[in-house]
C-alpha cells in the first residue's frame, strides 16, 4: 500500500471517528446538562462539561481532517499533517481549562456551603446512561484510532476511557449522598473529576509535545535503522540518525559509509537496499533520506545518533 493510499484511509477513519464522537457526545451532553440542572448536581454538570468539550473536539477533528489531507505545496513541503499534532495539543488545553474551571466552581460551592442532600432519579439515570454511552464511544475511538494511527483519535479514545471513570465517579457520589446524606459528597466528587480531567490533559500534552519537538520517544525505533544497515553488504556505520513522527508516519534520515572506490550508481544501489530493508521492518514510512559517505570519513556531527549511542541507549533501557 502506498503512502498516498494509507493517507486516504487514515482520513476516512478519522472522519468516521469524529462523526461518531460528535453525535454520541452531543446526545450525552444535552441529556446530562438537563438532568444536572433539574437535580442541581455539580458532579453531573461537570460530567456534562467534559462531554461538551468532546463535542468541540469532534468538530475540530472534522475541520482538521480536511486540512491534513491537502498535498504538499511550496510553503509546506512536508505536507500539512503536523496540523493534527497542533490540534491535539489544543485539545489538551481545552481539557485542562475545563477541568480547572470545574475544580474552582466546586471549591466555591464548598466555601459557600452549597450542598445537595437529595438527588432526583433522573440524575441517577443520566449518570448510568453516561457510563454505557462513554464505554461504547471509547471503544469505537480506540478501534478507529488504531486503524488510522491517528494521534488525535487515540488521545480522544484515552480521554473517553477516562470519561467512563468520571461517570462512575458521579454515580459513586450519588450513592454516598443517598446512603449517608453527606452534604458535600457531590462537590467533592466534582473536584476529583476535575483533577482527573487535568491529569488526562497533561498526559496528552506531554505526548504531543514530544512529536512537536521531533522526538521519537523510543530508542528502540533507532535500532531498526542499525539492524537494517548491518544486514546489507557494503553498508557500514549508520550515524547522524534522526527519526521524527509526523502524524503517525515516520520521517527518517541518516548517513552510512560505503567503500570510497564504488561508483555513484553502486553506492546508490546499496542505499536503496537499506531503504527497502527499513520499509520491511517498519510500517507507516513517510520518507527516508540516506546520505552516503566514504568509509574513513569520521568528521564530528552536530545532530543525530551514532550506532554506539543507539546501542548504549538500548543498554540503559534494559538495566
CB 183 within 8 A of CB 281: no
Task: Give the end of a domain, one of 212, 236, 257.
Answer: 212
Task: Report the SS3 class of residue 306.
Answer: coil
CA angle in degrees (0–180, nearest 5) for 128-30-53: 95
Task: Report the SS3 class of residue 120.
Answer: coil
The yes-or-no verdict on residue 215 having pLDDT over 60 is yes
Query: Highest mean pLDDT: which of 64-73, 79-88, 264-273, 295-304?
Result: 264-273
> In terms of residue numbers, what domain contains 83?
3-212
CB 278 within 8 A of CB 194: no
- Do 203 and 230 lie in one domain? The reply is no
**299 φψ region: left (φ > 0), alpha (ψ -120 to 50), beta (else):** beta
pLDDT tens string 28-62: 888 777 777 776 666 666 667 667 777 877 887 78
The yes-or-no verdict on residue 266 having pLDDT over 90 is yes
Whole-prediction pTM: 0.64
CATH of the domain at 50: 1.20.1510.10
The pairing of beta strand 285-294 with beta strand 236-246: unpaired
The yes-or-no verdict on residue 64 having pLDDT over 60 is yes
Query: Highest mean pLDDT: which of 138-152, 183-197, 216-230, 259-273?
Result: 259-273
Strand-pairing partners, residue 245, are: 250
- Do 182 and 249 lie in one domain? The reply is no
- Do 78 and 56 lie in one domain? The reply is yes
pLDDT tens string 73-88: 788 777 777 777 788 7
Task: Give the end of a domain, one of 184, 212, 240.
Answer: 212
CATH of the domain at 229: 3.30.70.1350
Amino acid at each position: 500500500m502506498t503512502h498516498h493510499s494509507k493517507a486516504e484511509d487514515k482520513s476516512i477513519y478519522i472522519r468516521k471517528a469524529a462523526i461518531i464522537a460528535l453525535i454520541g457526545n452531543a446526545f450525552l451532553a444535552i441529556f446530562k446538562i438537563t438532568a444536572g440542572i433539574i437535580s442541581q448536581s455539580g458532579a453531573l454538570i461537570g460530567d456534562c462539561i467534559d462531554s461538551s468539550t468532546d463535542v468541540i473536539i469532534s468538530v475540530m477533528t472534522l475541520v482538521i481532517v480536511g486540512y491534513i489531507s491537502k498535498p504538499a505545496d511550496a510553503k509546506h513541503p512536508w505536507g500539512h499533517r503536523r496540523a493534527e499534532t497542533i490540534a491535539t495539543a489544543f485539545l489538551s488545553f481545552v481539557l485542562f481549562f475545563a477541568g480547572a474551571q470545574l475544580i474552582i466552581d466546586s471549591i466555591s460551592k464548598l466555601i459557600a456551603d452549597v450542598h445537595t442532600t437529595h438527588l432526583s432519579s433522573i440524575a441517577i439515570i443520566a449518570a448510568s446512561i453516561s457510563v454505557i454511552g462513554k464505554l461504547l464511544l471509547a471503544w469505537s475511538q480506540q478501534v478507529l484510532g488504531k486503524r488510522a494511527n491517528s494521534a488525535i483519535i487515540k488521545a480522544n479514545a484515552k480521554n473517553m476511557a477516562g470519561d467512563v471513570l468520571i461517570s462512575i465517579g458521579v454515580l459513586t457520589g450519588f450513592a454516598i449522598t443517598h446512603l449517608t446524606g453527606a452534604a458535600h459528597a457531590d462537590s467533592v466528587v466534582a473536584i476529583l473529576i476535575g483533577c482527573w480531567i487535568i491529569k488526562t490533559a497533561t498526559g496528552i500534552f506531554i505526548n504531543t509535545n514530544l512529536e512537536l519537538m521531533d522526538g521519537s520517544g523510543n530508542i528502540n525505533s533507532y535500532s531498526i535503522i542499525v539492524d537494517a544497515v548491518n544486514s546489507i553488504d557494503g553498508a557500514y556505520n549508520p550515524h547522524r540518525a534522526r527519526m521524527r513522527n509526523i502524524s503517525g508516519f515516520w520521517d527518517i534520515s541518516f548517513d552510512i559509509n560505503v567503500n570510497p572506490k564504488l561508483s555513484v550508481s553502486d553506492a546508490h544501489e546499496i542505499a536503496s537496499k537499506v531503504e527497502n530493508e527499513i520499509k520491511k521492518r517498519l510500517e507507516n514510512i513517510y520518507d527516508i533520506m540516506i546520505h552516503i559517505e566514504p568509509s574513513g570519513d569520521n568528521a564530528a556531527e552536530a545532530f543525530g545518533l551514532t550506532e554506539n549511542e543507539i546501542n548504549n541507549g538500548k543498554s540503559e533501557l534494559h538495566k
